[in-house]
């Protein structure tokens, strides 16, 4: 077993105009009320929160009602509850809306006692109050069809000392294709995060604010990486349909006809349960100049105007106790968002150890866009629209030139992070 390691990411210290956030109070009778917890994906993550809620009720007598909301509907549901002053006590979210912040409780004491990862702990720079703390981390990662690699006699990195370059990796998957008749060498999720991982690995900084602070721009290494990625989508090495028509890359990989899949840590539990016809393995991502990944995750927030705000805080304090948080991570297959915690991933331990190694050895740029996005939305900016992956898809399909796509991506960054709504 290995511990989650500390890694350097840009600190999320947000300049917000917030009122003081108290910890909330309730009468003795309200403390006995149910705690309401909105989240998405509990069913697909093995019912981890439902299991922890049942354990908590058994220990304390307080019922935590897990409301599993479809991801696309979660923000709207929370928005409406805030407007009606009928908020959930707790919510697991990917970001924090500027319209919620005045109603959030201070989670600083929980963050401190649990030792949540600082770079993913969201703090108001004026009040110094913690408004959201991370529940789990996700990281990009590479999976291979081990059966195909072994059949072709092609080696892949057995340790962090043997990490391949992108050229070595592409040569390997092409050899697997030629030797085994695999339909494709590689599939990649249609995602901004996967593009960023590749551009970082080629030594780029993706899209960053210029020195004058007036506009978002890119760089030569990023352009080189994106041009190479576009060229890979040739219907030989990679199918164009994943990026241009929405074909599911996970299903394609699970069919056994693809040599490698660039996705992320969230796939491990699914693959271990549902891939029966071949052996798969996680391995180290290739790089050119810099080892890099792209981090994501979910945060928990606690509202003041729920039915039982103090009960929600008590549940969070309980959930972040090491033994309970460890159990949550093991149920759901999470990478923990706290320091110095042993997680037993059972038969998937090797795959998770590789993901943890990717995080530990990644450039500090890995979490830049994640934290920048949260910061922008909380300040009242609209954030990114998804133009990045859409414009690259347009280039792959021949609908747009590369330079025109870059201009639109840069404009989306300017609109999302510099121009107020």
Instruction: Kindly give the pairing relationship between strand 208-209 and strand 216-217.
Output: antiparallel
pLDDT for 378:
82
Is it the case that residue 25 has pLDDT exceeding 80? no
- 211 and 278 in a single domain? The answer is yes
Same domain for 226 and 306, yes or no, is no
Q: Is 314 left (phi over 0), alpha (psi -120 to 50) or beta?
A: alpha
Whether 373 is covered by a domain: the verdict is no
Mark whether 211 and 184 lie in a shared domain: yes
What 3-state class would DSSP assign to 256? coil
| Contact in structure between 357 and 160 (CB atoms under 8 Å) | yes
- pLDDT over threshold 60, residue 48: yes
Q: How many CA atoms lie within 13 A of 128 on its CB side?
A: 2
Counting the structural domains of the chain, the total is 2
Evaluate whether residue 45 is within a structural domain.
Answer: yes
Average pLDDT, rounded, for the chain: 90
Average pLDDT over residues 119-134: 83
| Pair 197, 114 in one domain | no
342 plus 287 within the same structural domain: no
pLDDT of 2 higher than 80: no
Q: In this predicted model, what pLDDT tens digit does every residue of 222-239 receive, in sequence order?
A: 999 999 999 999 999 999
What three-state secondary structure class fits 177?
A: helix
Q: Which tokens sit at 352?
A: 């998770």
Co-location of 250 and 390 in the same domain:
yes
Q: Does pLDDT of 401 surpass 60?
A: yes
d(CA 264, CA 271) in angstroms, rounded, equals 11
**Residue 176 scores a pLDDT above 90:** yes
Least confident of 117-121, 167-171, 177-181: 117-121
- In this structure, are 110 and 23 located in the same domain? yes
| Same domain (yes/no): 190, 154 | yes
CATH code at position 127: 3.40.190.10
Least confident of 28-32, 257-261, 348-352: 28-32
Sequence-distant (6+) residues with CB within 8 A of 286 are 142, 163, 164, 165, 166, 168, 169, 201
Is 240 part of any domain? yes
> Does residue 335 fall inside a structural domain?
yes
In a shared domain, residues 129 and 17: yes
Last-in-domain residue among 356, 373, 397: 356
Least confident window among 62-76, 85-99, 353-367 = 353-367
Residue 376 inside a domain? The answer is no
Work out whether strand 130-145 and strand 90-93 pair parallel, antiparallel, or are unpaired: unpaired
Point out which residues pair with 302 in neighbouring strands: 90
- The beta strands (E) that lie in 176-309 are given as 184-188, 208-209, 216-217, 258-264, 280-283, 295-302
Domain assignment of residue 369, yes or no: no
Of the pLDDT bands very low, low, confident and very high (cuts 50, 70, 90), residue 160 is very high
Let me know whether 392 and 256 are in one domain.
yes
Please state the pTM of the whole predicted model. 0.86
| pLDDT at residue 28 greater than cutoff 60 | no
Residue with tokens 């703390």: 133
Residues 229 and 320 in one domain: no
| Residue burial 127-140, b: 16+ Cβ < 10 Å; e: rest | bebbbbbbbbbbbb
Residues 100 and 186 in one domain: no
> Is residue 366, in this structure, part of any structural domain at all?
no
Domain that holds residue 193: 139-294+382-417
Q: Is 80 a domain residue?
A: yes
* Confidence (pLDDT) at 91: 98
pLDDT score at 204:
96
Listed ranges 31-40, 94-103, 297-306; the one with the highest mean pLDDT: 297-306
């Amino acid at each position: 077993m290995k511990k989650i390691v500390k890694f350097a990411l840009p600190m999320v210290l947000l300049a917000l105009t917030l009122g003081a956030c108290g910890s909330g109070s309730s009468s003795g009778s309200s403390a006995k009320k149910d705690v309401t917890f909105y989240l998405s994906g509990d069913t697909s993550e093995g019912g981890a929160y439902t299991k922890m809620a049942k354990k908590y009720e058994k220990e304390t007598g307080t019922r935590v009602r897990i409301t599993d909301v479809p991801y696309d509907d979660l923000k709207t549901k929370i928005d409406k509850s805030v407007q009606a002053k009928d908020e959930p006590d707790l919510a697991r979210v990917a970001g924090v809306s500027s319209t919620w912040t005045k109603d959030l409780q201070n989670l600083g004491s929980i963050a401190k006692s649990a030792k949540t990862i600082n770079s993913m702990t969201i703090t108001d720079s004026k009040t110094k109050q913690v408004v959201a703390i991370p529940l789990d981390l996700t990281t990009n990662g590479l999976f291979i069809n081990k059966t195909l690699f072994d059949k072709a006699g092609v080696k892949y990195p057995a340790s962090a000392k043997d990490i391949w370059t992108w050229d070595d990796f592409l040569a390997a998957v092409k050899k697997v294709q030629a030797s085994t008749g695999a339909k494709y060498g590689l599939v990649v999720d249609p995602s901004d995060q996967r593009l960023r991982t590749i551009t970082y690995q080629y030594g780029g900084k993706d899209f960053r604010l210029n020195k004058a602070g007036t506009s978002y721009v890119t760089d030569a290494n990023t352009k080189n990486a994106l041009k190479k990625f576009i060229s890979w989508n040739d219907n030989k090495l990679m199918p164009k349909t994943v990026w241009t028509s929405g074909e599911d890359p996970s299903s394609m990989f699970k069919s056994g006809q693809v040599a490698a899949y660039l996705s992320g840590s969230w796939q491990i539990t699914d693959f271990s349960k549902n891939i029966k016809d071949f052996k798969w393995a996680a391995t180290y991502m290739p790089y050119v100049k810099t080892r890099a990944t792209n981090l994501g995750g979910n945060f928990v927030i606690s509202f003041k105007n729920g039915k039982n705000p103090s009960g929600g805080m008590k549940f969070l304090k309980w959930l972040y106790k090491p033994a309970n948080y460890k159990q949550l991570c093991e149920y759901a297959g999470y990478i923990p968002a706290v320091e110095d915690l042993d997680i037993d991933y059972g038969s998937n331990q090797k795959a998770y150890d590789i993901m943890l190694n990717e995080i530990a050895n990644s450039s500090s740029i890995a979490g830049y866009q994640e934290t920048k996005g949260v910061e922008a939305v909380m300040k009242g900016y609209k954030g990114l629209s998804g133009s990045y992956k859409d414009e690259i898809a347009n280039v792959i399909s021949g609908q747009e030139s590369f330079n025109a796509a870059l201009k639109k991506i840069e404009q989306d960054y300017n609109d999302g992070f510099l121009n107020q709504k």
